[in-house]
Structure 1
Amino acid sequence: MPVLSENGQQVWHRRTTKQSLVHWIGWLIGLAVFVFCWQRISEATTWFFVWDAPRIAGDIWDRATPPRWEYIAQLGRPIWDTLNIATLGTLIALVLAIPVAFLAARNTTPSRLAARPLALLVIVSTRSINSLIWALLLIAIIGPGVFAGVVAIAIRSVGFCAKLIYEAIEEIDHSQVEAITATGASRWQVMVYGIVPQILPALAGVAVFRWDINIRESTVLGLVGAGGIGLQLQSSLNVLAWPQVSLILLVILAAVVISEWVSAKVRGAII
């Protein structure tokens, strides 16, 4: 069993009988849990469909190729809606996440007993629910369409952005804050001139990174009626128009690749 010495080198020691017994008991418990879980999964699985999956996949591939290239003229508006959902959702999320992050950060929160727990609750609650579930809830409240998708993406992104931003706030150089405070600056002036300039690179990086993620998430929101290219995908799947499905998947792949390239370039310029 390797153990790190004081100088950082690994030193091997023989396990005692008790340590070996605990080690093997842990492995046996893990194996038992795996066997139990596999048994439950097997009972709930129709294995005939699993063994027949290669044939079904081959049949769908034959039906989906070649893609129906002339259908691409009808995908311009849906992919534009998808980009708008991701972009507007990200912008709204950033506007909401910045004040939440300042309330959650230990060095900027006005109250560690009231404001900070409330801000952390907002961060956890918005991050714990998937955007598809938010979209389903919002469609029931405000109806289907692009607006429901924008709000779903925004709510889902608030917690993600706020968490990374408040961590950046807590890691700032406090000497700059102390220097500005010593000049008699107010609390707001300290934030504007001492904290915000230090977190701007992190804020820009978070914005681009989250926008890249939201491009991926917004492509499937249409499956539940929240607009975008996912709506075209759902319509094509409903009528088993496999050539259209393959074309839509190619367009989604192209959009994701382009967004990844753009976000990588922007992050590289920021860093």
Structure 2
Amino acid sequence: MPVSHLADRPIWTRRTTRQQFAAYAGWLALVALTIFAFQVMTRDTIWFFVQDAPRQAGDLLDRAWPPRWSYLDRLWAPLWDTLNIATLGTLLGILIAVPVAFLAARNTTPSLAFARPIALLIIVASRSINSLIWALLLVAIIGPGLLAGIIAIGLRSIGFIGKLLYEAIEEIDESQVEAVKATGARGSQVIDYAIVPQILPTFAGISVFRWDINIRESAVLGLVGAGGIGVQLNSSLARLAWSEVTVIFIVILATVVVSEWVSAKVRGAII
């Protein structure tokens, strides 16, 4: 730390004068960049609408309350579809992510030069594209319906599960692997008896956590035609039936809360 002297008495300072000027210049550049970015983002903003937003929001809330509870009977089947999309999509993601994770992990991949880069590319591609974008593409390819939603959730889940799982594989205790190899076990036996038991709790926790996330994501896939309760939400929004939208929001919120509770209980029991 720099020390200055005043009347032969050393005085501690956090930074030198040059460092202080550099810090001030950095903060000034950050403020200038923030102002510039704000101007770019609000260049086409109609400020009259922004000023009128509180009144419009109040008017919308007046029309959305009280909820139309009679509409609830029409939501059970779409809600069941949403749960199926999340569950089957998670299973599809697991089926693909597990072998991809073993190919991506340095200590289990058959080829660091070929197999591992391909596996990492699959993981990155899956994580880079949102499930809503996957659903848009799949609806255009295979048509609207639950199948598009299931595949979209599955493709999105591959990257999440694969990345966390291959990192867990790379962090295993290698001494257990060496002990099993010393018995003359084949490669598949080493995986079964030395690697899988170590990563099984982590794998179960990752899978349940991803299922919990997928319930939330599958609730909106119907907005692009991929089935589930999002179809009802899109219909109600199109008809400006705000009291029905309120009921749908309450159902989605309750479903997410229950899934969060179930996920926490299952992870707690496993881990």
Q: TM-score range by the shorter chain?
A: over 0.9
Equivalent residue letter for 1:89: G
1:38 to partner: Cα distance: 1.0
Structure 2 residue 65 is matched with structure 1 residue 35: no
Unaligned runs of 5+ in 2: 3-11
Cα deviation digits, residues 114-173 of structure 1 (max 9, x gap): 111110000000100000000000001000001000000000010000000001101111
Point out the structure with max Rg over C-alpha: 2
1:111 to partner: Cα distance: 0.7
Cα deviation digits, residues 185-236 of structure 1 (max 9, x gap): 0111101111011100000000000000000000000000000000000000
Cα deviation digits, residues 227-247 of structure 1 (max 9, x gap): 000000000010111111100
Structure 2 residue 95 is matched with structure 1 residue 65: no
Aligned length: 262
1:13 to partner: Cα distance: 4.4
State how far apart, in whole Å, the 1-side matches of 2:235 and 2:62 are. 20
- Taking structure 1 as reference, are residues 111 and 13 closer, same or farther at Cα in structure 2, changes over 3 Å only? farther
State how far apart, in whole Å, the 1-side matches of 2:14 and 2:247 are. 60
Quote the residue 1:227 is aligned against: 227
State how far apart, in whole Å, the 2-side matches of 1:141 and 1:218 are. 19
Query: Tell me, what secondary structure is at the counterpart of 1:43?
Result: coil
In the TM superposition, what are the counterparts of 1:3-152 in structure 2 within 5 Å?
13-152=13-152
Work out the percentage of aligned pairs sharing the same amino acid. Answer: 68
1:178 to partner: Cα distance: 0.3
Structure 1 residue runs of 4 or more that deviate by more than 4 Å after TM superposition:
none
Equivalent residue letter for 2:68: R
Unaligned runs of 5+ in 1: 3-11
In the TM superposition, what are the counterparts of 1:159-170 in structure 2 within 5 Å?
159-170=159-170
State how far apart, in whole Å, the 2-side matches of 1:232 and 1:118 are. 39
Equivalent residue letter for 1:82: T
TM-score (norm 2): 0.95
Structure 2 residue 201 is matched with structure 1 residue 201: yes
TM-score (norm 1): 0.95
State how far apart, in whole Å, the 2-side matches of 1:162 and 1:13 are. 49
